[in-house]
Amino acid sequence: MYGKMKDHLSKTIAEIKEAGLYKEERLIESAQQAAITVKGKEVLNFCANNYLGLSNHPRLIAAAQKIMEHRGYGMSSVRFICGTQDIHKELEAAISDYFRTEDTILYAACFDANGGVFEPLFSEEDAIISDSLNHASIIDGVRLCKAKRYRYANADMAELEKCLQEVQAQRFRIIVTDGVFSMDGNVAPMDKICDFAEKYDALVMVDESHSAGVVGPTGHGVSEQYNTYGRVDIYTGTLGKAFGGALGGFTTGRKEIIDLLRQRSRPYLFSNSLAPGIIGASLEVFKMLKESNVLHDKLVENVNYFRDKMTAAGFDIKPTQSAICAVMLYDAKLSQVYAARMQEEGIYVTGFYYPVVPKEQARIRVQISAGHEKAHLDKCIAAFIKVGKELGVLK
């Protein structure tokens, strides 16, 4: 049988390559930071989710090493059998404190958090209303649930209200949105979403993966930015982006919701608990963010500088309210050629194209970090301009 399947797979892969949609994985030969080593050459990294520049921070490395000396390397168990250490509960409390919520549950990744949140809470009697640009993990999580599904155009409040009007007969209703939409960089209008939720008696869930540590006056996410504390019922998020860049996800929110997830969320019940080293480093992250806002302040300064310079140079950039700057190229092959030329210029970026983004919406997604210095930003901007003129993107 595999002979037949092999032919089918080979043909499919060839078609992906022919369409210019084949994804190559480039090898990094150093730690993840602003300047990385690729093929023996130092390049500047502008496509990591390392928003606060913490992925190789010495305090996190030291914290991970210290905790492993006292709590070991791995857990070898799920949480409810023998996989819960005191430090797991400490981290859950730190996350709850950060988001001003009642309780938190840890997962191996935010993909698992989103995959495990809907099915235990909602049934065919209920309705889930989801933003059209929500992350794939939310889409997959919704698919695992029997609730009725509705979708509204990205951040379109008129469509959201129509959906809410349609689902008034359902037992429970929940509006689900990303905080920051990962491909465009825009922020969900949480104040308006919460207003509609209260008007039409619905719950609210937001994925803070790209917004926590980034948006809001001190980077505490969308509820800080829109003052919606107490109005959002469920937050999901990751420890793999601004909060250190390793592994781990979480769901935080109402106490009873978290309690039921501990009893019935399958990714939580059947996955190993997070390793002590990750827990130790993550605890250090939240300690650092309580001490000072200096990293977030630098991130905001870097984003504003880069966006303003790129716009002035004539690039088509999606309106952004986050650390994500989408440089629009529209053509899939062009985005790959552009990214390859940028690497030759010492800038590590990635072209995004279908199916990651809609067809004819190819782009280079630039991600700014507090780890970048002004000289890094200037070099990246200069390379964009040089390659843009070569490839006819700029005149």
Nearest partner of 136 among 202, 175, 182, judged by Cα: 182
pTM: predicted TM-score of the whole model, two decimal places: 0.94
Known binding residue 365? Answer is yes
What does 186-212 look like in DSSP terms, one character per residue? -B--HHHHHHHHHHTT-EEEEE-TTTT
Sheet with 351-352, strands from edge to edge, namely 324-330, 362-367, 351-352
List helix spans (H) across 177-293: 190-199, 222-226, 255-264, 266-269, 276-291
The series of mean pLDDT values per 10 residues for the chain, 395 residues long, is 94 88 86 94 96 98 98 96 97 98 98 97 98 96 96 97 97 98 94 98 98 97 97 98 97 98 97 97 98 97 97 93 95 93 96 88 96 98 98 93
The pLDDT value given to residue 100: 98
Q: Which residue in the list 88, 210, 296, 372 is annotated as catalytic?
A: 210
Report all structural domains of the chain as residue ranges with CATH numbers, in order of start.
20-49+293-391 (3.90.1150.10), 58-291 (3.40.640.10)
Known binding residue 233? Answer is no
Do the beta carbons of residue 277 and residue 73 sit within 8 Å?
yes
Known binding residue 111? Answer is yes
Question: How far apart, in Å, do the first and last CA atoms of the chain sit?
Answer: 54
The pLDDT value given to residue 214: 97
The pLDDT value given to residue 319: 85
Do the beta carbons of residue 167 and residue 122 sit within 8 Å?
no
Known binding residue 88? Answer is no
Q: Does residue 57 carry a catalytic annotation?
A: no
What does 312-350 look like in DSSP terms, one character per residue? HHT--B---SSSEEEEEEE-HHHHHHHHHHHHHTTEE--
Query: CA–CA separation, 84 vs 290, rounded Å?
Result: 25
Q: In this structure, what token pair is assigned to residue 218?
A: 């001190």
DSSP 8-class letter at 373 = -
Known binding residue 264? Answer is no
The pLDDT value given to residue 20: 72
The pLDDT value given to residue 192: 98
Strand partners, 366: 325
Assign residue 248 a region (left: φ > 0; alpha: ψ between -120 and 50; beta: otherwise): left
Sheet with 234-238, strands from edge to edge, namely 103-107, 249-253, 234-238, 203-207, 173-178, 127-131, 148-152
Known binding residue 209? Answer is yes
Q: Which residue in the list 182, 211, 282, 369 is annotated as catalytic?
A: 182
Q: Does residue 210 carry a catalytic annotation?
A: yes
Q: Which residue in the list 57, 88, 220, 241 is annotated as catalytic?
A: 241
